[in-house]
Amino acid sequence: MEGGLRQRIVEAGYACVARWGLSKTTVEDVARQAEVSRATVYRYFPGGRDELIDAVVHWQTVQFFTRLYEEVQDATSLEEVLGRGLPFARRSLLEHEVLNRVLQTEPELLLPQLTLEANRTVGMIGAFLEPYLARHGVADGMEVRTAADFLARMILSYIASPGRWDLADPGQLSDLVRTELLAGVAPSG
């Protein structure tokens, strides 16, 4: 039950951020929402509000990547992983109401945490991509792990800001995957 109570506090923190935003959410608000005392919140999050907010961001990030993994887990090629994963991830990001509201109203508070969380996920994404890259092949002299790290960083970049690419357009998505994402790691000739 201990883990369940911690999760209840994290979910209460998310509900409070959704209601009031990052800067106005307090430990007292979260305790009230979770129906626990402030002392209980501090027992699970001794770093206070900052540690709790970090846990909320981390929880939502894990939720996002779990859904993304479910979307691409049965893909048979690297191209299919990217072709299914990029539009799904971009759409999920655009449809996340709380994230978008906080990014519009308090970007200076959320962006550093998202950057920290993104750095944590590069390794996870890279590890997922490694077997696909090993089958696909990488440029001579490039290690699969290096290629996976590069590709993971590029994927995160395009999810957040696709630039001139419309990830919902299959033709543009195919061109992006072929000419930019895989061109940086592909074997020559």
136 and 82 both lie in a single domain: yes
The reported pLDDT for the residue numbered 61 is 82
- Percent of the chain beyond pLDDT 90? 60
16 and 75 both lie in a single domain: no
CA distance 138 to 131: 11
70 and 137 both lie in a single domain: yes
> Is 68 inside a domain boundary?
yes
Contacts of 72 (CB under 8 A, 6+ apart): 80, 81, 84, 85, 88
User: For the segment 84-135, what is each residue's pLDDT rounded down to a tens digit?
Assistant: 999 999 999 888 888 777 777 777 766 676 677 777 788 889 999 999 999 9
| Best CA proximity match to 30, nearest among 4, 48, 3 | 48
User: Domain of 126: which CATH number?
Assistant: 1.10.357
User: Domain of 39: which CATH number?
Assistant: 1.10.10.60
What is each CA distance from 174 to 128, 181, 184, in whole angstroms? 20, 10, 15
Tell me the residue range of the domain where 103 lies: 54-181
104 and 126 both lie in a single domain: yes
> Is 186 inside a domain boundary?
no
State how many domains the chain has. Answer: 2
Task: Compare 99 and 36 and report the one with higher pLDDT.
Answer: 36
CA distance 22 to 30: 12
Tell me, what amino acid is at 146? T
